[in-house]
Structure 1
């Protein structure tokens, strides 16, 4: 349908999507085209990304869930294909999933290369060691930073300029642990090895320095806590107001 509406894109859609029998193959091809460069051309990058996806079925499974989340939660997104081809939050997240696979196999240089290309292309900086669940939406994505020991649960929504960072030069486990269903609003900052409980909401521009219980809103600088009165999932409803 996209190719019919925009004939100039017919070759792009055919090469990127229609020429592939499986979602996994199209995903590997697209990511490689995005991050291939002078030092590692797209053909070599394709082999690497395909290796990660082929050896870990959870990567493609999570990517499918991420696409569903993007389509369901972003009113600007009109189709799964649109998100797959053009939304840099989705693309950056799937590059991270491949980089994480290499990191876990101690192929640190390759993992960091993928991170570096992701950061340069999309202004999204996710350390390859960070653990991120499935059904995650990173909307707009510019300025998102997620540190090495951060953990992000399932069904989380992250808006632009969100930071999940450390508090200084401390070593070890030093980054936030974000539970399932959490909404991290525009410019939210969570620092240190603190837990953000399930179904919580971090308000726009808020700075969180201590634990947030489940079903709680954290707002302000520094953030103060407000118990939520319902048990909806903020990451899915995208409701930024109590």
Structure 2
């Protein structure tokens, strides 16, 4: 998958240069100057995160080592790009997601922070969390688990707590919180199962489960488990129907009145 996906990205980059010459140098530096997807991704992310204290080369080396030792992490990034491309009607190329979409980019930064956290390098992981928050305007704890094919649409204001789990193929809109209910310790954050879509501004609080294929309406406050394949909405959230498809994350249909 990696080689074919990289070829497609390079083809899209060459087409972009032809259609928009002013982006020629930028696209060449970010894409065409690299030999594979992993080095291009690491270059893009490291330049986003670098500041006057932590330079881009140091951060880039962390990404490249991570991708070398854990190829499943860069593979997950490809699935994330394809998820955004397939679900967002505003997206017309995979390259656009890679270069411009902060929801995608922030998830990839988290993947590195999560790996460092697992290795016991918690201070470095927390540094990346902080930079991720400052640059992309969201906050994901390094210990949180995020699967592949995940889409953070717009992304601004998303908060994901330490023991939260987001499984494969989930779509989350802006200003969503996967948080706790107080200062309790231990396993205290939501578990979001595959196929779920969470509408803008929803707050999901506590160690609760959002069942497979469920839909959470915009602005809802969810305090209890949500069964699979139902639509909930309100404050507090209540079941109001069932999504029209098995995986609401794919259709992104946010009008709960149609369920």
> After TM superposition, is the score higher than 0.5?
yes
1:185 aligns with 2:215: no
- 2:181 corresponds, among 142, 155, 167, to 167
- The equivalent residue for 2:142 is 128
List aligned pairs for 1:89-100, cutoff 5 A.
89-100=103-114
SS of alignment partner, residue 239 of structure 2: strand
- The equivalent residue for 1:200 is 214
Question: Equivalents in 1 of 2:240, 2:214: separation in Å?
Answer: 10
Question: Equivalents in 1 of 2:54, 2:60: separation in Å?
Answer: 10
Offset at residue 20 of structure 1 (A): 1.1
Question: Equivalents in 1 of 2:217, 2:165: separation in Å?
Answer: 19
- The equivalent residue for 2:132 is 118
SS of alignment partner, residue 139 of structure 2: strand
SS of alignment partner, residue 181 of structure 1: coil
- The equivalent residue for 2:39 is 25
Question: Equivalents in 2 of 1:229, 1:166: separation in Å?
Answer: 27
Change (3 A) 1:229 1:22: closer
- The equivalent residue for 1:144 is 158
C-alpha contact 1:215 1:227 (8 A) present in aligned 2: no
- The equivalent residue for 2:9 is none
- The equivalent residue for 1:35 is 49
Offset at residue 231 of structure 1 (A): 4.4
C-alpha contact 1:207 1:223 (8 A) present in aligned 2: yes
Question: Equivalents in 2 of 1:47, 1:13: separation in Å?
Answer: 21
TM-score by length of 2: 0.91
- 1:70 corresponds, among 76, 81, 84, to 84
> Pairwise CA RMSD of aligned residues?
1.0
C-alpha contact 2:195 2:246 (8 A) present in aligned 1: no
SS of alignment partner, residue 253 of structure 2: coil
Change (3 A) 1:28 1:239: same
Offset at residue 232 of structure 1 (A): 2.4
Question: Equivalents in 2 of 1:172, 1:227: separation in Å?
Answer: 33
- Structure 2: segments with no counterpart, 5+ residues: 1-14
C-alpha contact 1:206 1:221 (8 A) present in aligned 2: yes
Offset at residue 230 of structure 1 (A): 4.3
